[in-house]
Amino acid sequence: MKKYINSGNIDTRSGFGAGMDELGKTHENVVALCADLTGSLKLNDFEKNHPERFFQTGIAEANMMGMAAGMTIGGKIPYATTFANFATGRVYDQIRQSIAYSNKNVKICASHAGLTLGEDGATHQILEDLGLMKMLPGMTVINTCDYNQTKAATIAIADHDGPVYLRFGRPSVANFTEKDGKFEIGKAVHLLEGSDVTIVATGHLVWEAIKAAEELNENGISAEVINIHTIKPLDDEAILNSVKKTRCIVTCEEHNYLGGLGESVARVLATNDPAPQEFVATQDTFGESGTPAELMEKYGLNTKSIVAAVNKVLTRK
Amino acid sequence: MPNTKQLEDFVSQVRRDIVRQVHGVNSGHPGGSLGCAEFFVALYQEVMKRKDGFDMDGKDEDLFFLSNGHISPVFYSVLARSGYFPVAELNTYRKIDSRVQGHPTTHEGLPGIRIASGSLGQGMSVALGAAQTKKLNGDPNLVYSLHGDGELQEGQNWEAIMYASANNIDNLISTVDLNGQQIDGTTDHVLNMGSIRAKFEAFGWEVLDVEKGNDMNAVLAGLKEAKSLTGKGKPVCILLHTIMGNGVDFMMGTHAWHGKAPNDEQLESALTQNPETLGDY
């Protein structure tokens, strides 16, 4: 079984900040907008090194999204940044009309997504953003799993013409994907080969899925693990090819089971090759205050939950 | 350069286009469209620096953004008659498989449109984003935008208004169509905003009133003055006092024709009041 090494815990948002700083050097049309969360988004280096291309909008996210749309006119590539809650739900209509329907080349970059925001609690822990964004026609939706992948995705989306939602998080998590690896939008990454069950995971749950597969392997269960960093467009082929072999699937995401990765996978299977599926996701609930680890345990989003979901789905084959 | 009489003749044709578009599909918004006919004609025929043809980036030319997208009939008429798309296409307004959608959009690729609008209150943010990019690009041309007065009840406007002055966006001229009407009645009745001038001034804008917003010479003079105020560190606001439904007597000064189409008889009356000058589509 292939081994993945954690090169050291670090937050995915720092990967975003590093990607932005690099883009500042390589892409002169990239501009960054931020609604009073520069430090939280790790944009300090970009602001320092490219002050003329950094736009502080104040606590005014609706205006930030509209400005980002306007800034594309004349060739800029705006990265509009804030917490995931304020980058989606708060400004849905602005994104829908001024960015998505108008097909503007805006990159909406959202940190502090999901439960792992932790102690701030449910007001800030959005678990609905993937659903909101994937429902918008033309919107590309990406949820990266670690520092390296977030950095790579941040850079890659600059060369993609069209609106993108890039989701990442606050806590320090394992960094295990290839340093400076290639990021292909819409292309799933096969992490582990297996034959008994397919586990597809996105965001912070990818590392948990690898750990789950290791544990299952010790019990004689062979799990295939696929990192779905792009929720939309979804890599249907990767999912179908794997399920053809394993005949069952577990989907894992730090998001409501309504509207997230799991439902997208269920649609692909239902319309092509129906197979039993279990959802590791929040169960149509808001979050609460707590440490990230406590919350992931309480809401069933960790290695233990994935192992339990695999054991359940295997009985349904 | 067209003289005032030619511009007024242009307006007459635009008014015909407005009521004919709306009558043709028995839907749309004639009132606000008619009230802004002089403004649009002045802007596109006289004031704005425009390149031939259309490209989305609009470098080296002035840009215009319509925030209150429901007055699309006047926008479409003036765009078509300024050469952005065939005038005959006005006949497809609000019909299936058309580029001339109910509210303006880039989605079907209609030349002249750079942003979708309709859900209110978003246009000023877009305009100042475009103005910011012009500054980054070293492009000295201006950005114009138009907003309804009722539309200022949307909070996003005030985020944008605050940003524009704080960041010295002085290549932006935002015009407010001050017709005092919105769907449910007068703006004072629905949600009294007090002095809009005082509000813009308090937010650090340069403000000028055009008291006769349906008088071509007054509109031209106001736009010229506004241009002279750009480049001085402040965004510029024109308060354009208009009469909703202007030019069609039974539509004038009432919110009743905000979003209602004339019947055959009313259309005939409206057309009689506004002679054909450039040829109907």
* Tally of CB atoms within 10 A around A272: 14
Instruction: Please name the member of A64, A69, A96 whose beta carbon is closest to the beta carbon of B115.
Output: A69
B1, pLDDT greater than 90 = no
Every domain of chain A and the residues it spans: 10-173, 189-315
Asked if A65 has any chain B CB less than 8 Å from its own CB, the reply is yes
Residues B58, A73: C-beta atoms closer than 8 Å:
yes
Looking at the domain that runs over B4-273, which CATH code has it been given? 3.40.50.970
Judge: domain A10-173, CATH 3.40.50.970: yes
Contact residues for B29 (Cβ-Cβ < 8 A; gap 6+): B22, B70, B71, B72, B73, B258, B259
Which pLDDT band holds residue B73 (cuts at 50, 70, 90)? very high
For residues B7 and B3, what is the distance between their CA atoms, to the nearest angstrom? 6
Strands B63-66 and A172-173 come out as: unpaired
Return the residue in A30, A53, A63 with the most chain B beta carbons within 10 A, the one to mutate for interface testing: A63
Which residue of A60, A66, A103 is in closest CB contact with B122? A66
Backbone angles phi, psi at A198, to 5 degrees: -100, 130
Place of tokens 């909070």: B155
Which of A22, A61, A253, A263 does the annotation list as catalytic?
A: A61
Task: Check if the interface score ipTM surpasses 0.90.
Answer: yes
What was the pLDDT predicted at B51? 97
Dig out the tokens for B143 from the structure. Answer: 């950005």
Interchain proximity B107–A103, CB inside 8 Å? yes
Taking CB atoms and an 8 Å cut-off, how many pairs form between chains A and B?
116
Q: Average of pLDDT values for B71-91?
A: 98
What tens digit of pLDDT does each residue of A57-78 get?
A: 999 999 999 999 999 999 999 9
DSSP codes of every residue in A41-58: TT-HHHHHH-GGGEEE--
pLDDT at residue number A81? 98
List chain A residues with CB under 8 Å of B129.
66-73, 78
Which residues of chain A fall below pLDDT 70?
A: none
- A102 touching B, CB under 8 A? yes
Q: Do A66 and B124 touch (CB under 8 A)?
A: yes
DSSP states of B3-26: -HHHHHHHHHHHHHHHHHHHHHHT
**Shortest CA gap B108–chain A (Å):** 10
Report the topology of domain A189-315: Rossmann fold (3.40.50)
A69: nearest CB among B129, B136, B163? B129
A61 is catalytic: yes
Name the helix (H) or strand (E) containing A312.
helix A303-315
Q: Which helix (H) or strand (E) holds B174?
A: strand B172-178
Single-letter amino acid code for the residue at B48 = M
**R_g of chain A, CA atoms, integer Å:** 19
Q: How far is residue B44's CA from residue B61's CA, in Å, rounded to a whole number?
A: 12
Closest-CA residue in chain B for A75? B57
What is the reported pLDDT for B2?
82
CB-CB under 8 Å, A76 with B159: no
- A100: which chain B residues are within 8 Å (Cβ-Cβ)? none
- Among partner residues A60, A69, A75, which is closest to B126 by beta-carbon distance? A69
pLDDT in tens, B182-223: 999 999 999 999 999 999 999 999 999 999 999 999 999 999
Same topology for domains A10-173 and A189-315, yes or no?
Answer: yes
Residue B131: name the closest of B156, B162, B164 by CA. Answer: B164
Domain ranges, ordered by start, for chain B: 4-273
pLDDT at B129 over 80: yes
Among A167-171, B24-28, B251-255, which stretch is predicted with the lowest mean pLDDT?
A: B251-255
Pairing state between β B236-241 and B206-210: parallel
